[in-house]
Amino acid sequence: MALPAELAQLATELAPFVHPALVRRACADDRRGLGVFVTQPLPRGELLLAARPLAAVRVRGRDEDVVERLAELILERLEDPNFAETFWSLSTGDPTERPSQRPKRPHAYMNHAAPMEATCSSVFLGDVLLLRTLCAVEPDEELTNSYCALSAKLQLRRQILRHCGVPLGTSPDAAESEPEDGEGDDEALLPALRALRALRAARAASVDATAAVHGGADAAVARATELWRKVVDLAAEEVFGLQRPTHPIFFPMRAELLQLQLRAARGLGDMAKVAELHQAMAKSLAQDWVVQIVKWSGREQPMNVEVLAHWIAHLRAVPAVDGHAAVGATGRLTRFWLGRRPGLKVVAEWMESCGLGPRRL
């Protein structure tokens, strides 16, 4: 989906931009290689980068081989010496030779940190990538970005990190594999084991419901409806306990349960429930973080764009919904990212253009 004209204009005004306080240096922990650091204090929300990608391909279906198509495009363009110089400047380089340099494309050089620890986050505005600080940063502090989406489940996190060459075990989200029944006697993981059993049951019910509905017959549809209802009715409080658990393993588990419930509610056509679940997801993605991050002052909402996408989806699910909180949160998030507050319709189109429309969440 194309970006609304108002935002396409903004993208043109912002890009290209690289913040002058960014430098590329060797990290103190040499297993991390080079990283991006700041030379001066920066406030929360500072724009660090607004850049168009070196190469982009348009994807129509899910199965298209994006990596192969990108590689072909890059090989073609490498014949242009200007492109080749920029492209090869992305490679790791030798930290002992050039300990410090202004990075031309800092996003490509940033190391990963778990979403609850990353100091930066990025979003696409059309084909312009915007990168901002999520908290105030001090001089000589390393800037980090999560390579995984905020809502990614444990298994997907580990896949992404493995694929990106981040050693598993250096990041809390990579270290937390799903515990097996009877494994370990860590007190903190006992509620996680209970929750996992409920989560596994919900996963199985969702797979069965999808298979049943493809059967098409009335009995199959009735069976799917029953299974979806079962998933939707799982109370998060029962699954995770009444107290908000602080162990990081709970974030992806809670997000996964809500995602399964969202799909089930959509299958049932229960749009009021869909709206309620998007709201729960927005709050959960925002608040679970706040519990972890002492660095953030007060209970300020994390400005991750996935949170914005869920508020917008909440507003779209049931037009008559009382949207006071959602409109407020949407306004704060869009102002944070864009420096302005366009209408809800424009923000909804922006989310669609980022692949964060209600059907994709």
Alpha-carbon distance of 210 to 225, in angstroms, equals 10
Counting beta carbons within 10 angstroms of the beta carbon of residue 335, is it exposed (0 to 12), middle (13 to 18) or buried (19 or more)?
Answer: middle
172 prior amide bond cis, ω within 30: no
Q: Which is nearer to ligand SAM, 173 or 288 (CB)?
A: 173
16 prior amide bond cis, ω within 30: yes
What's the residue count for the chain? 361
Q: Which is nearer to ligand SAM, 108 or 136 (CB)?
A: 108
**CB under 6 A: which stretch of 69-77, 104-112, 197-205, 313-321 binds ligand SAM?**
104-112
Q: Which is nearer to ligand SAM, 92 or 96 (CB)?
A: 92
**CB under 6 A: which stretch of 3-11, 164-172, 263-271, 334-342 binds ligand SAM?**
164-172
**Is there a contact between 302 and 296 (Cβ–Cβ < 8 Å)?**
yes
Which residues sit opposite 131 in a β-bridge? 49, 122
DSSP-derived 3-state class of residue 105: coil
Shortest reach from residue 320's CB to ligand SAM, in Å: 45
Q: Does 92 bind ligand SAM (CB under 6 A)?
A: yes
Among 3, 22, 111, 348, binds ligand SAM (CB under 6 A): 111
Q: Does 167 bind ligand SAM (CB under 6 A)?
A: yes
Q: Fill in the amino acid letter for 319.
A: P
Among 25, 112, 157, 273, binds ligand SAM (CB under 6 A): 112
Among 32, 69, 223, 229, binds ligand SAM (CB under 6 A): 32
Among the listed residues 166, 157, 113, the one whose alpha carbon sits nearest the alpha carbon of residue 137: 113
Among 14, 33, 290, 335, binds ligand SAM (CB under 6 A): 33
Alpha-carbon distance of 281 to 323, in angstroms, equals 15
Q: Which is nearer to ligand SAM, 112 or 283 (CB)?
A: 112
Q: Which is nearer to ligand SAM, 144 or 279 (CB)?
A: 144
Q: Does 20 bind ligand SAM (CB under 6 A)?
A: no
Among 14, 39, 136, 170, binds ligand SAM (CB under 6 A): 170
Shortest reach from residue 95's CB to ligand SAM, in Å: 7
Count CB-CB contacts under 10 A for residue 210.
Answer: 15
Shortest reach from residue 66's CB to ligand SAM, in Å: 18
**Is there a contact between 54 and 85 (Cβ–Cβ < 8 Å)?**
no
Among the listed residues 114, 143, 111, 112, the one whose alpha carbon sits nearest the alpha carbon of residue 248: 114
Q: Fill in the amino acid letter for 135.
A: C
Among the listed residues 358, 357, 305, the one whose alpha carbon sits nearest the alpha carbon of residue 330: 305
Among 11, 135, 166, 262, binds ligand SAM (CB under 6 A): 166
Shortest reach from residue 311's CB to ligand SAM, in Å: 30
Question: Which residues in this chain contact ligand SAM in the complex, by CB under 6 A?
Answer: 31-35, 92, 108-109, 111-112, 164-167, 170-171
